């Protein structure tokens, strides 16, 4: 066949190129699309290129330790598999492929509310003390939401990520054009109300409650002991408010550029957020994660130098899974680990604790 061998994938972008060729058109359209003109989607990755390194020399970098702790979980490297809906569009086994690859690398997986596999299938696929978090879309019917949350906690999930950037799903035109209909999906929540004629995004949007507000956060705290993280925070004011209402974390994210078009990149928001937290002495009160456009270990390093606890990666693992299954995701993760080790050596940092803002030149990002 014309399919390039897995060994010919040298970086995460290579998986995207292969996936584009081999995936079903509808699946490619759903995974790859962003909102409107996809300006934010492109900016997510491009923003990392506005930051340059200021490496330190003559540091003994023989031994590199890239492990870290996220929400109390020790991880081999500071990234996690973020939640992406409808895994079976890309691979017949769906999200459990990601679960198995994450286990091989001691990486955390965030389980999407709108997975193709059932929640229990994804939890059953985990091995040993592997850690999973739950991404939550909040249903109008709070009893449904309560059951989802309580069940996730009972099944051992170690974090609750409430998606707050999607009161209505963005307009992903590529996806709409492909006229989605998906027999393999687990999207039953909206029952027969789901309109599948306008793409996958439209089909799942009927699940989400647009009335969700800050007033609901105490309720979440009352129904679970899992750490609560708001996923999709986009400015410093809301990070400060998240601290005040007792959230354990935030994900600075624009949903992979799939929601508000011309929203800023997560990395740019991070540069705004961390100084404000440090000014108040609050930087230990909340864990700050970033996702969107992370494709290289240098991207991960830049986020950590600015003060992020970890980063989420979405599409690259979907593409690796769709093209090559578990071995593809495995290789994508290994490539990131190899890049990480090399780049930590080259900037003169032997551990995550060594990463700090002085290793960066952010004038290009902050100056405009």
Q: From the candidates 255, 291, 319, 324, give the one annotated as an active-site residue.
A: 255
233 binds ligand FNR (CB under 6 A): no
Report the residue number, 306 or 349, with the smaller CB distance to ligand FNR: 306
Q: Which SS3 state, helix, strand or coil, does residue 232 take? A: strand
CA nearest to 12, candidates 236, 305, 298: 298
State yes or no: residue 116 binds ligand FNR (CB under 6 A): no
Site map 83..112 versus ligand FNR, x via CB under 6 A: xxx--------------------------x
For position 135 contacting ligand FNR by CB under 6 A, the verdict is: yes
Q: Give catalytic status of residue 255 as yes or no.
A: yes
Q: HEC states along 311-354? A: EEECHHHHHHHHHHHHHHHHHHHHHHHHHHHHHHHHHCCCEHHH
Active site residue 195: no
Q: Write down the least CB distance from residue 56 to ligand FNR, Å.
A: 29
Is there binding between residue 82 and ligand FNR (CB under 6 A)? yes
Span near ligand FNR by CB under 6 A; candidates 4-12, 233-241, 249-257, 321-329 = 249-257
The whole-angstrom separation of Cα 134 and Cα 121 is 14
Give me the least distance between CB of 204 and ligand FNR, in Å please: 7
Phi/psi of residue 204, nearest 5 degrees: -95, -10
Angle at 233 between CA 185 and CA 272, to 5 degrees: 145
Given the complex with ligand FNR, which of 316 and 354 has the nearer CB atom?
316
Q: What angle do CA 264, 75, 302 make, to 5 degrees?
A: 35
The verdict on 294 binding ligand FNR (CB under 6 A) reads: yes
Residue 46's CB is within 10 A of a number of other CB atoms, namely: 12
Residue 221 corresponds to which tokens in the numbers above?
């705290």
Q: Tokens for 305, please give them.
A: 């130098």
Contacts 24+ apart (CB under 8 A), 363-366: 364/50, 364/51, 364/52, 365/47, 365/50, 365/51, 365/267, 365/268, 365/271, 366/271
**Under rule CB under 6 A, which residues in 154-193 are in contact with ligand FNR?**
163
Residue nearer to ligand FNR on the CB measure, 81 or 349? 81
Residue nearest to ligand FNR (CB): 314
Tokens found for residue 80:
């996690």
CB atoms within 10 A of CB 211: 9
The residue (of 68 and 163) whose beta carbon lies closer to ligand FNR is: 163
Query: Is 324 a binder of ligand FNR (CB under 6 A)?
Result: no
User: Considering only CA atoms, which of 139, 136, 142, 132 is closest in space to residue 161?
Assistant: 136
Contact code string over 34-73 relative to ligand FNR, x by CB under 6 A: ----------x-----------------------------
Of 31, 80, 137, 324, catalytic: 137
Token pair for residue 262?
């011309």
* 31 touching ligand FNR, by CB under 6 A: yes
CA–CA distance, 350 with 287 (Å, rounded to integer): 22
Among 293, 310, 325, 328, binds ligand FNR (CB under 6 A): 293
Selected range binding ligand FNR among 207-215, 274-282, 288-296, 359-367, rule: CB under 6 A: 288-296
Q: Closest CB to ligand FNR among 201 and 349?
A: 201
Rounded-to-integer distance, Cα 248 and Cα 309, Å: 12
State yes or no: residue 315 binds ligand FNR (CB under 6 A): yes
CA quadruple 196, 22, 258, 326: dihedral sign = positive
Site for ligand FNR in 194-223 (CB under 6 A): none
135 or 178, CB closer to ligand FNR?
Answer: 135
* 137 noted as active-site residue: yes
Known catalytic residues are: 137, 165, 255
Residues that bind ligand FNR (CB under 6 A): 30-31, 44, 82-85, 112, 114, 135, 163, 231, 253, 255-256, 258, 291-294, 312-315
């Amino acid at each position: 066949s014309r399919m390039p061998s897995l060994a010919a994938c040298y970086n995460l972008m290579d998986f995207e190129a292969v996936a584009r060729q081999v995936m079903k058109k509808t699946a490619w359209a759903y995974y790859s699309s962003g909102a409107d003109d996809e300006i934010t989607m492109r900016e997510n990755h491009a923003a990392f290129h506005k930051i340059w390194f200021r490496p330190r020399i003559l540091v003994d970098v023989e031994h590199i330790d890239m492990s870290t702790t996220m929400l109390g979980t020790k991880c081999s490297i500071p990234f996690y598999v973020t939640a992406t809906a409808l895994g079976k569009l890309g691979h017949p086994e769906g999200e459990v492929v990601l679960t198995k690859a994450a286990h091989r690398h001691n990486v955390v997986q965030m389980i999407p509310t709108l997975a193709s596999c059932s929640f229990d299938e994804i939890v059953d696929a985990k091995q040993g003390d592997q850690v999973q978090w739950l991404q939550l879309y909040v249903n109008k019917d709070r009893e449904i939401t309560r059951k989802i949350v309580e069940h996730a906690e009972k099944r051992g999930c170690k974090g609750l990520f409430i998606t707050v950037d999607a009161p209505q799903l963005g307009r992903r035109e590529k996806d709409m054009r492909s006229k989605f209909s998906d027999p393999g999906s687990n999207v039953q929540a909206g029952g027969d109300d789901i309109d599948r004629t306008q793409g996958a995004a439209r089909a799942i949007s009927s699940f989400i409650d647009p009335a969700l507000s800050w007033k609901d956060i105490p309720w979440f705290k009352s129904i679970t002991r899992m750490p609560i993280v708001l996923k999709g925070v986009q400015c410093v004011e809301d990070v400060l408010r998240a601290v005040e209402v007792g959230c354990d974390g935030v994900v600075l994210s624009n949903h992979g550029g799939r929601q508000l078009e011309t929203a800023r990149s997560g990395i740019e928001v991070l540069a705004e957020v961390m100084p404000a937290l440090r000014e108040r002495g609050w930087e230990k009160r909340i864990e700050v994660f970033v996702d969107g456009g992370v494709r290289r270990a240098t991207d991960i390093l830049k986020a950590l130098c600015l003060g992020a606890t970890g980063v989420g990666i979405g599409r690259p693992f979907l593409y690796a899974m769709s093209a090559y299954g578990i071995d593809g995701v495995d290789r994508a993760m290994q490539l990131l680990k190899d890049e990480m080790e090399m780049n930590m050596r080259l900037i003169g940092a032997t551990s995550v604790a060594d990463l700090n803002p002085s290793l960066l030149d952010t004038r290009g990002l902050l100056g405009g």
